[in-house]
Amino acid sequence: MSWLEDYGLWIVIALVILNGFAVFLMIRKLKKEKAVVQSLESLSLQDTFTFEAPLKKDKTYVTLYQSLDDQIKQLMKEKDEALDIEEDIRTYALTDQASNLLNPLGFKQAINENLHTMKVVYFLRIEPSKEYLMHYDVNLTQRLIKLIAKSLRTIEDDVLVARVERFDFYLAYKDESLVDKINHLFNQAIKDESYTFSLNVRGGMSYIESDVEQALIQAKITLMHSENTIQMFKPSMHHTVKQKQTILNHVEKALDKDGFYLVYQPQFLKENQALIGVEALLRLDDDTYLPNDFIPVIEQAGLMANVSRMVVRKVCEDLLKHRLDDDHLRVYINYSDYQLDDATFMDDLKGILEEKVINPKRLGFEIKEQLFIDAPHKTKQVVQAFKDLGIDVRIVEFGSGYTGLYDLSHYLVSGVKLDKRFIEDVLTKDKLKVFKALTDYIDLLGFEIIAEGIEHEAQAKLLENSIVKIVQGYHYYKPEKMRDIVHLMQKKNN
């Protein structure tokens, strides 16, 4: 105890001194850390973080600084990369990848940012002519789109250009003065390293008043009224578009509710009036609209794929229902221009025939002459596909276009149906020699000749001494449902 009593006071004093020194060191350390933080806060993100004295002189913190330097540089790099990615995504979202023009979203955004200068919107349809269709493929389409985009960019420096889809484009400008420049631009052929393309331009314009979307709709409406011209929107155009929309609504409802039916117009041998075939014609159940009204709407709305398969099914069902599959009657179906790019039609056709157990020889397809002119290569492939299935093919509306007669011999078609307008123009007493020379040559090439649209006795009389083998028209028989055609067959057989 005596030792503790002699030195205890000094021990306490020493402990107090040591504790005070420890506190002093702690405070000194905290001050240095605070200085580091303040120094770091004073540096911008663009600094290189090469720390100079007095910070760098303190070896205790050199490692810390270097670590922080590396981490912040990495963060800056990641931040820059993230900003680049964000910009790429934004550009991608507003750009059409096929043309490198704006897409519709980017176009609308650009107009809204420039409403003080952009006063007129244009909706253009720049359609390639037969040179393109003759060599059609995906790569050629992409090249042609790029060529058109490049041409549109040269119109004016301050014009906004966007691609909508396929060969449809938006433009925006301060006024309507671009019309002449657009026409001049595309009146000349455009070229790439392999092909020269002629283009047909039509379109609509509308003033941008307050609503960009409304102006674009009006420009599209105007396009529907334009044939090889670019016109300004007129309020009266709304009526036509509204009528087409009404028809489209009716058609879509009919497709959904099985609201279509078929009638068949007989085709007779001229020499003995034997019934040898019929042409299938589509009708609406309630007969609200005529085919000339609803067929173009079906084609323009992209519904032909559905309708074409429906027609094939209904033809097969009528053949089965009336037990005509083993008969010699052949049903001809119209092949629409809009089916040319329908890649699965042939497979679906084959599937329907197998499902319904219908002999393919009971069917025939009629393809317009114009398709042989506009897309000879693809049309030849279509004809071959029909022939491979055992289905007959004819050229119809012959005389409405300019197919060379010799060119017909390159196609595996069985017959040529003369166009109704051609019959009206050429099957007259004054031009009978022309009619005879033409039909004799078609016969010499080995094709059957069908005269369509024979409406009058006078026309029938003029055909009597011609080489025409098959006739069709109201003069002989109007279109009827299949049950009536069956009765007609029975009557003729008896």
Q: What is the mean pLDDT of the chain?
A: 81
Q: Which of 335, 341, 254 is nearest to 293 (CA)?
A: 254
Q: What average pLDDT does the segment 222-243 reach?
A: 80
Count CB-CB contacts under 10 A for residue 349.
Answer: 21
Q: How big is the chain, counted in residues?
A: 494
Q: Which of 437, 465, 435, 467 is nearest to 450 (CA)?
A: 467
Highest mean pLDDT among 66-75, 205-214, 309-318: 309-318
Could you tell me which residues come within 8 angstroms of residue 216 by beta carbon, excluding any fewer than 6 positions away? 108, 121, 123, 170, 206
Sign of CA dihedral 126, 127, 129, 135: positive
Q: What average pLDDT does the segment 26-50 reach?
A: 51
Write out the residue limits of the CATH 3.20.20.450 domain(s) in the chain.
Answer: 241-493
Q: Which of 419, 392, 385, 269 is nearest to 333 (CA)?
A: 392
Task: Determine the pLDDT at residue 3.
Answer: 47
- Domain formed by 104-234, architecture: 2-Layer Sandwich (3.30)
Q: Where are the beta strands (DSSP E) in 27-83?
A: none
Sign of CA dihedral 112, 118, 123, 124: negative
Q: Band the pLDDT of 286: cuts 50, 70, 90.
A: confident
- Supply φ then ψ for residue 366, to 5 degrees: -110, 120
Lowest mean pLDDT among 61-65, 267-271, 332-336, 450-454: 61-65
Task: Determine the pLDDT at residue 86.
Answer: 54
d(CA 230, CA 213): 19
Taking 80 as the threshold, does the pLDDT of residue 203 lie above it? yes
Specify the pairing of strand 470-471 against strand 260-269.
antiparallel
**Amino acid type, 296:** P
Taking 90 as the threshold, does the pLDDT of residue 195 lie above it? no
396, β-bridge pairs: 368
Whether the upstream peptide bond of residue 360 has omega within 30° of 0, thus cis, is no
Q: For residue 248, what are the CA distances in angstroms to 214, 285, 302, 335, 336?
A: 21, 15, 11, 21, 18
Kindly state the greatest CA–CA separation across the chain: 156
Task: Determine the pLDDT at residue 68.
Answer: 65
Q: Which CATH superfamily is domain 241-493 in?
A: EAL domain (3.20.20.450)
Q: Bigger pLDDT: 23 or 384?
A: 384
Task: Determine the pLDDT at residue 491.
Answer: 84
Q: Which of 27, 65, 60 is nearest to 43 (CA)?
A: 65
Taking 70 as the threshold, does the pLDDT of residue 67 lie above it? no
d(CA 401, CA 398): 7
Task: Determine the pLDDT at residue 88.
Answer: 56
pLDDT digits (tens, 9 = 90+) for 452-473: 999 889 899 999 889 999 999 9
Count CB-CB contacts under 10 A for residue 63.
Answer: 9
Q: Which of 318, 351, 322 is nearest to 333 (CA)?
A: 318
Q: Band the pLDDT of 89: cuts 50, 70, 90.
A: low
pLDDT digits (tens, 9 = 90+) for 144-168: 888 899 999 888 889 999 998 878 9
Cα–chain-centroid distance for residue 394?
Answer: 28
Taking 70 as the threshold, does the pLDDT of residue 15 lie above it? no
Helices assigned H by DSSP within 301-419: 304-321, 345-356, 369-374, 376-389
Write out the residue limits of the CATH 3.30.70.270 domain(s) in the chain.
Answer: 104-234
Q: Is 430 helix (H, G, I), strand (E, B) or coil?
A: coil
d(CA 216, CA 205): 8
Share of the chain above pLDDT 90, in %: 35
Taking 70 as the threshold, does the pLDDT of residue 401 lie above it? no
Helix (H) or strand (E) holding 179: helix 178-187
Helix (H) or strand (E) holding 295: helix 291-300
Task: Determine the pLDDT at residue 46.
Answer: 44
Q: Bigger pLDDT: 189 or 101?
A: 101
Share of the chain above pLDDT 70, in %: 76
Q: Band the pLDDT of 280: cuts 50, 70, 90.
A: very high
Q: Would you give the DSSP letter of residue 43? A: S
Q: What is the pTM of this model?
A: 0.59
d(CA 190, CA 230): 20
Taking 60 as the threshold, does the pLDDT of residue 475 lie above it? yes
Task: Determine the pLDDT at residue 317.
Answer: 94
Residue 447: exposed, middle, or buried by beta-carbon count in 10 A (0-12, 13-18, 19+)? buried
Taking 80 as the threshold, does the pLDDT of residue 43 lie above it? no
Taking 70 as the threshold, does the pLDDT of residue 32 lie above it? no
Sign of CA dihedral 89, 94, 95, 97: positive
Specify the pairing of strand 230-232 against strand 199-207.
parallel
Task: Determine the pLDDT at residue 53.
Answer: 45
Q: Band the pLDDT of 422: cuts 50, 70, 90.
A: confident
